[in-house]
Amino acid sequence: MAATGKVKVGIIGSQFEAEIHAASFAIMTEEAEVVAVASPTAGHPEALAKRYGIPRVFHDYRQMLAQSDIEMVTVAAPNYLHAQITIHAAKAGKHVVCEKPLCMTLEEADAMIDTCRRQGVLLMYAEELFFTPKYVKAKEMADEGAFGRLYLVKQSEKHFGPHAEWFWNVERSGGGVFMDMGCHGIAFCYWFLGRPQIQSVLCHMGTYVHGARTRGEDDSICILEFAGNAVGVVENSWARRGGMDDRIEVYGEGGLTYANLHMGNALPTYSEYGFGYAVEKAPETKGWTYPVFEELWNYGFPQEMRHFARCVRGKEEPQATGEDGRVVQEVLYAGYESARTGCKVALPFRPKGVQRPIDLWRPAAGD
Ligand SMILES: NC(=O)c1ccc[n+]([C@@H]2O[C@H](COP(=O)([O-])OP(=O)(O)OC[C@H]3O[C@@H](n4cnc5c(N)ncnc54)[C@H](O)[C@@H]3O)[C@@H](O)[C@H]2O)c1
């Protein structure tokens, strides 16, 4: 394998997030190049390859893993496949960028981390909020002492529900909105506060709007207590109309900052006729909308992929790792348990035999 030059990347998956990966590498081209894509549905990887000039297409990711020049793969497949794909990739000697949430269970998280370590490859966790420019600015100010001692960090992400059917099927997703987007907020608070020990988790959730479609929760509120007397609040919804909303609030004894990811990078716009695209998950472009510019850049995706490629070359140390993903996974377990009992759950919390985190809250009928 080449140890210099651009890192050769293979993308696994060819739809929503795979497109973001391909577009991100296409925005920042100096560190990496996508040389292959693998995804099972005939026509889908071919279409992605055509849009981004990716030379090789596979329908079985294991065939792509056999390509000796590929150094790093990105995993943009449904959650239930993350562990299996990561372990196969590591055994094939590839560095792995795995999408959020890391996997379905803590046993899978352990196996992913252990396999990558034994194979001498990096396991990088694709939490783009660690790279989101507006949120990075908030953290830089906090780290400089702008707000004094932090006592409360909030992150919230809401929209009207995901685009693909598998998200709604908890057998394949592992849970509803808390699993899908709560994982971002948990990781964010943990990272923002400097990765202190998480002491307890209290969570409330319910299915308010999409009960006919899913056993998963479509709204959740989670409170995390951190060592050092600080609290994280993570709010998520698949029931919120009007497109994506993503925001943070940071409070310290000496100050505060607010950041709304989509406002300030958006143009308040009114159109009688509509136009092509406004913002992720916006249902339409007629009437009042808030189209964003440089959307992927504002999320931090290109910066994240560039960082991961630089890690493969040894130029940077991974800032988002499998271990971060495992911490998030444990909080997901604790959150679902807390939602069932109505009580705070103390960490460490490692119940055995969990198949899907959501089962701790709402077991499948017949389980
Ligand atoms: N970081 C973020 O903000 C963000 C946003 C969206 C999705 N995601 C994550 O990315 C992952 C993919 O989500 P998505 O929205 O792209 O879903 P999607 O349904 O749009 O795409 C899933 C892709 O995986 C492919 N796939 C299915 N089985 C496969 C297999 N055996 N081998 C290879 N590919 C296979 C599908 O064919 C499809 O191309 C999920 O884990 C999701 O949580 C992250």
pLDDT digits (tens, 9 = 90+) for 79-134: 999 999 999 999 999 999 999 999 999 999 999 999 999 999 999 999 999 999 99
Euclidean distance between CA atoms 232 and 224, whole angstroms: 5
> 117: CA distance to ligand 1 center in Å?
24
Q: Which atom in ligand 1 lies closest to the alpha carbon of residue 19?
A: 16
**Backbone φ and ψ of 355, nearest 5°:** -100, -35
Strands 219-226 and 230-237, by their bridges, are antiparallel
Nearest CA to ligand 1 atom 4: 17
Q: Which of 35, 37, 62, 34 is nearest to 47 (CA)?
A: 37
CB of 289 within 8 A of CB of 298? no
Both tokens assigned to 14: 């060819």
Task: Indicate the pairing of strand 150-158 with strand 123-126.
Answer: unpaired
pLDDT in tens, 202-215: 999 999 999 999 99
Q: Whose CA is nearest to atom 36 of ligand 1?
A: 13
- Angle 278-211-203 from CA coordinates, rounded to 5°: 85
Q: Which among 345, 42, 35 is positioned nearest to 198, based on CA atoms? A: 345
**What mean pLDDT is reported for the chain?**
96
Nearest ligand 1 atom, CA 180: 43
Distance 305 CA to ligand 1 centre (A): 16
7-128: CATH homologous superfamily? Answer: NAD(P)-binding Rossmann-like Domain (3.40.50.720)
Q: What is the pLDDT of residue 333?
A: 98
Q: Which residue of 15, 125, 299, 303 sits with most ligand 1 atoms within 8 Å of its CB, as the best mutation to test the pocket?
A: 15
Residue 345: CB atoms within 10 Å: 21
Local confidence band at 310 (pLDDT 50, 70, 90 cut-offs): very high
* CA distance linking residue 133 with residue 155, whole number of Å: 15
CA of 98 relative to ligand 1 center, distance in Å: 10
- C-alpha 319/C-alpha 194 separation (Å) is 12
Confidence (pTM)? 0.96
CATH architecture of 130-300+328-346: 2-Layer Sandwich (3.30)
Task: Report how far ligand 1's centroid is from the alpha carbon of 14 (Å).
Answer: 7
Kindly state the DSSP code that residue 192 receives in the 8-state scheme.
H
pLDDT recorded at residue 236: 99
Could you tell me the distance, in angstroms and rounded to a whole number, from the CA of residue 293 to the centre of ligand 1? 24
Q: 100 CA distance to ligand 1 centroid (A)?
A: 10
* Ligand 1 atom 22 nearest Cα: 77
Distance, CA 105 to ligand 1 centroid (Å)?
A: 18
What separation in Å is there between the alpha carbon of 164 and the centre of ligand 1?
Answer: 9
CA 299 to centroid of ligand 1, rounded, Å? 18
- Does residue 329 surpass a pLDDT of 90? yes
* CA torsion angle 182 186 187 192 (round to 10): 130
Rg for the chain (alpha carbons), in Å?
20
**Using one digit for the tens of pLDDT, what is the confidence trace for 39-68?**
999 999 999 999 999 999 999 999 999 999
- Identify which of 39, 44, 177 to mutate to test ligand 1's pocket (most ligand atoms within 8 A of the CB): 39
In the chain, which ranges are continuous DSSP H helix?
Answer: 16-27, 44-52, 61-65, 82-91, 106-119, 133-143, 170-173, 177, 183-192, 295-299, 301-312, 322-341
- Residues lining ligand 1, judged by CB closer than 6 Å? 12-18, 38-41, 44, 61, 76-79, 81, 99-100, 126, 128, 164, 166
pLDDT at residue 367 tops 60: no
List phi, psi (to 5°) of 43.
95, -30
* Nearest residue to 76 via CA among 62, 96, 51, 46: 96
- In whole angstroms, give the CA distance from residue 230 to residue 198: 10
Given the structure tokens 């693909």, which residue do they identify? 164
Provide the 10 A C-beta neighbour count for residue 208: 12
Which ligand 1 atom is at minimum distance from the Cα of 299? 3
Ligand 1 atom showing the smallest separation from residue 164 Cα: 19
| C-alpha of residue 99 to centroid of ligand 1, in Å | 8
Sequence spans of domains, the chain: 7-128, 130-300+328-346
Do residues 248 and 135 touch, judged by C-beta distance below 8 A? yes
Nearest CA to ligand 1 atom 8: 17
Taking residues 314-329, report their average pLDDT.
98
* Residue 249 contacts residue 256 (beta carbons within 8 Å): yes
